[in-house]
Structure formats: C-alpha cells, structure tokens
Amino acid sequence: MTDKTILEKIKAIVTPYVQRKEGLEDFSDSTDFISDLKINSANLVDVILDVEDEFNIEIDNTSMEGMLTAGDAKRIILTKLEN
C-alpha cells in the first residue's frame, strides 16, 4: 500500500468526525486531528478503532499516545503493516 493510499483511507475514516470541514481541503501529513479538523477528543478513540478495522491492525496504547496528526497515523499504520 502506498503512502498516498494510506493517507486517503485515513481521510475517509476521519471525515465523519470532522467538525471543521475546511480542514479536509488540504489534507496532508501535517493535518492535526484536533487543531485543524476540530475532531472532538472523545471521538479520537473511534477514529483509532476504525483505523484498526480498516487496516486489520492493533494500535497499542503507546502508539495511540502519539496519534495527533494524519502523518503520525500513517507512520503507525506503516510500522504495524510491516510487522
């Protein structure tokens, strides 16, 4: 799976939780889930569960701590897919 495909899948996963839709226009590695997309912090765990289902991986608590941007999520997914 390419970086671009992963990023597109992340975008599709987060979209239902986004409260600031303009933030999706220039969606990239640096897009911050909370400050750019205004995803409610209580919904971040839903995003993580959807990521686990989509990629068939398990995101451990240490990885979850650092999942603040789309790029963070992409790197975590790539690492888990390699293992």
Residues contributing to the site for another protein (CB under 8 A): 34-35, 40-46, 48-49, 52, 61, 64-68
Q: Give whichever of 40 and 79 is closer to another protein, judged by the CB atom.
A: 40
What single DSSP character describes residue 71?
A: H
On whether the CB atoms of residues 74 and 4 are closer than 8 A, the answer is no
Report, in Å, the least distance between residue 78 CB and another protein.
19
Q: Which is nearer to another protein, 4 or 42 (CB)?
A: 42
Closest CA to 31 of 18, 43, 49: 18
3/53 with CB nearer another protein: 53
Q: Which of 67, 71, 75, 78 is nearest to 27 (CA)?
A: 71
